[in-house]
Chains A and B, each alone.
Chain A
Amino acid sequence: MTPKERVMTALRRGQPDMVPWVEGSMEEEIQIRIMDGRTDYTPGELCRALGMDGFGYNFPAAGGAVASQSHTAATSLKDTWYHPGNVTFQFSPPWIARMGIDATTGRTYIKEGLLTSRDSLSLFDEFLPDPNHPARYEQVAKWIEQYREDYAVFAGIRLGTSSTFEGMGLEAFSLAMYEDPGLVKEIHRRFSEWSAQVVEHVNKLDVDFIWVYDDMADTRAPWVSPAMYEEFIQPYQMMVASRIGKPWVFHSDGNLLPILDNLLQLGMSAIHPNQPAAVDINQVKQKYGDRVCLIGNIDLDYTLTRGTEEEVEREVRDRIEKVGKGGGYIISSANSITNYCKLENIRAMAKAVEKYRRYDG
């Protein structure tokens, strides 16, 4: 099987020749360290360095983004969206929030959501790009053509939920649910309407599947009850989900179990990342494995960041043997390969995946 066939088989809950490995996100600094300091590698070369079967996140310029470098100095969020400064396959909306940047690491973070009142709704026009502007789609189409080889290529989008949480802030979101429920619904509707238009364009790209990133839970529970989910979130998520024309993965950190039955009505092919601190993936497999492919569960909180190489190997072997049994499993970190992972542990993961992944032994 090609890497693409392997991934697509698992997404259909089938059993490929071997357990596929795909990451939903990998920070650029650790990509470069994996590539021994090179920045001019292609996504396919990174896949081969580890034995991964697909890609779809952000990559350093790698020569491919040179044409758009002149735009990176532009302060306009819209312009950056239309003309991305690095190689990307992502279509998430910009944050409608006051952002900060960590001087040491360069990581950006949300200081404060800006969507807190009816008046603030005008910020949608200010922040969100035109979802029908062709520039980003044309650019990504070129990158796919240039880099796809026989890998499974995915595009990243949002259904609008995490943008709603981030744009409002969880406290304002919570209070508005009681005091101005219409505002919460209107904010989610606007993000979802934007994403629904984006996804129509993404459907036309030569991507194999779509990865949806909408965090809506912590390790204890979802941020909303099943009843709140049905009223405030699901109808808007469905606006986007019903338009997705390819297999798709739903990503949310945390424990989704209290709302998972409702969530599965959206029709996703797979759930990621199945964080070990939040869920027992063996139980999820037992209960939902006949309905949805599972991705992830290699622990970022401890194993990949603080564990030993032996612990990485044990965890990889355990997941492949138990969750991979019968297919419908894609191995991956929970939730991403971050810069603060131990490089030797990522290499140990690659080695262990290669050692244990074959279904025919």
Chain B
Amino acid sequence: MHVSATLELIKENCIRGKRADLKEAVNAALAEGIGAKDIMMRGLIPAMATVGEKYASGEFFLPEMMIAARAVSEAMEMLKPHLVASGYEKRGKVAVGTVAGDFHDIGKNIVKAMLEGGGYEVVDLGVDTPAEKFIAAVQNDAVQAVLLSSLITISMANMRLTIQALDRAGVRQSVIVGVGGAPVTQRFADEIGADFYSPDAFGAVEKCNALLAQRA
């Protein structure tokens, strides 16, 4: 099969979330001699971007996005040994967490799935995350971005406190800080000194792509 046809098949299976067909197509591509990096950069990541766009535009709903993200994540796992062997590094490393006082994880998990589909390594700090855990992620896991989620107004204050704590720990300038969640707005993000706000998961990936590229 022609390289572009193979990659098109990979993309198609990603977008439709067909896990078994995707694995088969990835194996076929490797057997054809297509490099793991090409499969990822020209197949999986653009496919997940398409899924993200469809989700953001309202064409795709949560289950369609989740099944595609799972398929891409499994395909990435298949490619990992090949990528390691060829010395390829992930696009970046990002910590995600719902801030202290808030136990909602749906939005945070959607962002995590989209980031992984976008080629990022994600450190999931969970829910009710104290500022110290975000600081530790920067210091110990060398993340380049931290994304803070909040679904209830009362926990939004902890977004501000988390950013202040990152500052006091001397690591604020070394990371990009993004915020999101139902009550969060661009105005609030500006007020608390976040680097970006995104109203949806796909936007968060795009902002990470753009801001990390600027720093590279």
Contact = CB atoms under 8 A, between A and B. Distances in A.
B182 A228 contact: no
Given A109-B103, A170-B106, A224 B154 contact: no
Given A302-B153, A306-B153, A340-B152, A175 B61 contact: no
Interface string A156-197: 000000000000001101110110000000000000000000
Given A277-B182, A277-B183, A301-B183, A223 B61 contact: yes
A245 interface: no
Contacts of A305: 153-154
Interface in B79-114: 101, 103-104, 106-107, 109
A258 interface: yes
A178 B153 contact: no
Contacts, number: 69
A336 to B, nearest CB: 11
A300 interface: yes
A340 B151 CA distance: 13
A178 B63 contact: yes
Which of A170, A178, A223 is packed against the most chain B CB atoms within 10 Å? A178
B67 interface: yes
Contacts of A170: 62, 66, 106, 109
A219 interface: yes
B195 interface: no
B64 interface: yes
A299 B127 CA distance: 25
A102 B128 contact: yes
A223 B101 CA distance: 25
B153 A224 contact: no
A258 B101 CA distance: 32
Nearest to A109: B103
Interface residues of A, number: 32
B33 interface: no
Contact of A224 (B62, B67, B104): B62
Nearest to A304: B153
B207 interface: no
Interface string A306-350: 100000000000000000000000000000001010000000000
A154 to B, nearest CB: 25
Contacts of B153: 300-302, 305-306, 340
Given A171-B109, A301-B182, A340 B154 contact: yes
Interface string B167-194: 0000000000000001100000000000
B70 interface: yes
A222 interface: yes
A338 B182 CA distance: 16
A141 B59 CA distance: 47
Given A218-B107, A228-B61, A258-B58, A175 B154 contact: no
A277 B182 CA distance: 8
B61 A224 contact: yes
A221 interface: yes
Nearest to A224: B61
Contacts of B127: 109
A94 interface: no
A220 interface: yes
Nearest to B201: A220
A76 interface: no
Contacts of B58: 220-221, 258
A218 B106 contact: yes
Given A218-B106, A224-B62, A302 B154 contact: no
Q: Give the one of B58, B70, B101, B182 with max A CB within 10 A.
A: B182
11 contacts: A102-B101, A102-B128, A178-B63, A178-B67, A218-B182, A220-B199, A277-B182, A306-B153, A338-B152, A340-B152, A340-B153
Leading 3 A-B pairs by shortest Cβ distance:
A109-B103, A174-B66, A301-B183
Interface of A: 100, 102, 104-105, 107, 109-110, 170-171, 173-175, 177-178, 218-225, 228, 258, 277, 300-302, 305-306, 338, 340
Interface of B: 17, 58, 61-67, 70, 101, 103-104, 106-107, 109, 127-128, 152-154, 182-183, 199-200
